[in-house]
Amino acid sequence: MNICKAKNYQDMSRKAANIISAQVIMKPHCVLGLATGSSPIGTYKQLIEWYNKGDLDFARVMSINLDEYKGLSPENPQSYRYFMNTNLFDHINIDKARTFVPNGLEPDPEKACAEYEEIIRKSGGIDLQLLGLGRNGHIGFNEPADAFARETHCVNLTESTIDANKRFFESEDDVPRQAYTMGIGSIMKARKILVVVSGEDKADALKATICGPITPQVPASILQLHNDVTIVADEAALSKMDI
């Protein structure tokens, strides 16, 4: 693992955006695996800024998102498709027909997940996968479990994840209890992985990810086995490590 220390959230976002922009410049038709949540928003803002300056061209880029809430339509302001449109896609020249998010309105989990795995397969594989890190060590919506999930699957969200996400909804009762997410196996197939981590509340999870045993109880710990992982974390997130 390559650990890149950032001063703060803004510095983290800029460093992460540098890595993504280098990928797009080196391979204009690359496949980007994208993430949602508060962690990557600053990274997306930086990419938009560079695009507006004429430094980046997303016309040939394909994107595949990690996850989506089950039961939410793309038009729902809390859906991850809406998030991606609002925070990135609406502001760059990416072809939205080549941006993929799991179908949250597909009621049949087996069908939804099989279709998404086929999209990943037909893409030729993800060149760079962007990840955030949950307070319980989850990546995507792969929650602590007894085993690592291999492919895209439907998950029941844990109380800690529901609690972390309830700030985006009118009430906790409005937070979906299930989501479709890429599996650990799907994520690990990416050629490069970039993890952005910010805040002292992620310090324990980050330490367990980097230094702890590889266990499905800390899903992100599997990243220790990938041969090209860069973690960009701010000082607060690294506060429990000697880095």
Query: What percentage of residues in the chain have a pLDDT greater than 70?
Result: 100
Domain spanning 2-234: CATH 3.40.50.1360? yes
Q: Which residue has the higher pLDDT, 166 or 199?
A: 199
Q: Is 143 in the active site? A: yes
- For residue range 30-56, list pLDDT tens digits in order: 999 999 999 999 999 999 999 999 999
Catalytic residue (one of 68, 87, 103, 138): 138
Q: Is the pLDDT of residue 59 over 90?
A: yes
Q: Is 57 in the active site? A: no
Q: Is 138 in the active site? A: yes
User: Are 229 and 188 a contacting pair, CB within 8 Å?
Assistant: no
Distance, in Å, from the CA atom of 100 to the CA atom of 105, rounded to the nearest integer, reads 14
Catalytic residue (one of 65, 87, 103, 136): 136
User: Are 209 and 220 a contacting pair, CB within 8 Å?
Assistant: yes
The overall average pLDDT reported for the chain is: 96
Q: Is the pTM of this model over 0.75?
A: yes
Q: Is the pLDDT of residue 243 over 80?
A: no
Mean pLDDT confidence for 211-216? 96
- For residue range 69-121, list pLDDT tens digits in order: 999 999 999 999 999 999 999 999 999 999 999 999 999 999 999 999 999 99
Sheet holding 99-100: strands in order across?
2-6, 229-234, 192-197, 128-131, 31-34, 62-65, 99-100
Q: What residue spans define the domains of the chain?
A: 2-234
Write down the pLDDT at residue 76: 94
Distance, in Å, from the CA atom of 33 to the CA atom of 128, rounded to the nearest integer, reads 6
Write down the pLDDT at residue 70: 96
Q: How confident is the model at residue 162 (pLDDT cuts 50, 70, 90)?
A: confident
Q: How confident is the model at residue 166 (pLDDT cuts 50, 70, 90)?
A: confident
DSSP 3-state assignment of 154?
A: strand
Q: Is 136 in the active site? A: yes
